[in-house]
Amino acid sequence: MKSSLVAFSLLLAVPSLAAPPAEKPGAQVVLKHVEEPRWALAIHGGAGVIDKSMEESKKQAYFKALGDALTLGKETLAKGGTALETVEKIVRFLEDDPKFNAGKGAVFTHDGTHELDAAIMDGSTLACGSVAGLKTVKNPISLARLVMEKSGHVFLAGEGAERFADEMKVERATPDYFFVQERWDQLQKALKDESAGVVPKKFGTVGAVALDTHGHLAAATSTGGLTNKKWGRIGDVPVIGAGTYANDKTCAVSSTGVGEQFIRHTVARTISARMEFGGLSLEEAAKRTIAELEPGDGGVIAVGADGSIALVFNSAGMFRGAADSSGRFEVRIWE
């Protein structure tokens, strides 16, 4: 019987630390393929009836803002930054942009003031922080993170949240910082529409969700709420499990839309639960959950623990973007 040569497969777990051994006659050296670290990212800037006939310059300004925010997140994750760091950076960036209803661009309440809400969640620990009814905090998302890390609590609102901001020495802003003429004009129109029974169909929020190269997820959301809102109304954004949720077992979710509906349906947590207990994919879980809302209620962005991305909405449009380590990079408003 003819003898056969034996092929040796040498798997080198850390090839950079040791050179492969010299080949024996007739032997085959197989190096284990090590994939690049995976990361994924999605962002949004609100949903609702977004006019397709808007001026081209305005449309391009939105695309640029979304693209810049996405690039900021992409660069942070590609360098090994954490998901938590990334989503806070992105949301701060969008809070500083008056085109979006958060931070500087926050809409006016019925009384002509501003009340800002935000939330952030770390999927690796389920730690989370929320703030609501802020009037002087320049970047609510950063105060939400401080609530998570420094307060011993999860949710602070109104005067108490402002006092906590004093203790944390976060950057503050006067009412004129938040004044944007377009937002003031929107309030005047909303006051007129209110008397005619017209319901607003554009819902402004900003949010980001991310999976980092360490395998952790995080979500962050911030908003100025609804134009013409009354009585200290709070929507879904700072409600953990409704507008914001992250769990390393499943996904990270940020919502935008009719806050009351997203609270009633605990949208963000429901998507996660359908994945964890029902075995659904991220896309399936998001689509099924949004399908249970009324048409036009809004949408979600979500990133799964496997790097999958879902951008699902039932409104006419949603300002959104997505990027990942495979090379995906896109920003969209409508289709």
Q: Could you give the residue numbers annotated as active site?
A: 205
Distance CA 217, CA 227 (A): 31
Instruction: Label residues 205-233 b or e (16+ Cβ within 10 Å = b).
Output: bbbbbbbbbeebbbbbbbbbbbbbbeeeb
Element (H, E) at 85: helix 83-95
Beta partners for 217?
211
Q: Which of 114, 196, 198 is nearest to 158 (CA)?
A: 114
Distance CA 195, CA 192 (A): 6
Helix crossing, 267-278 with 282-291: angle to 10°?
Answer: 130
Distance CA 237, CA 251 (A): 17
Q: Which of 153, 70, 169, 96 is nearest to 119 (CA)?
A: 153
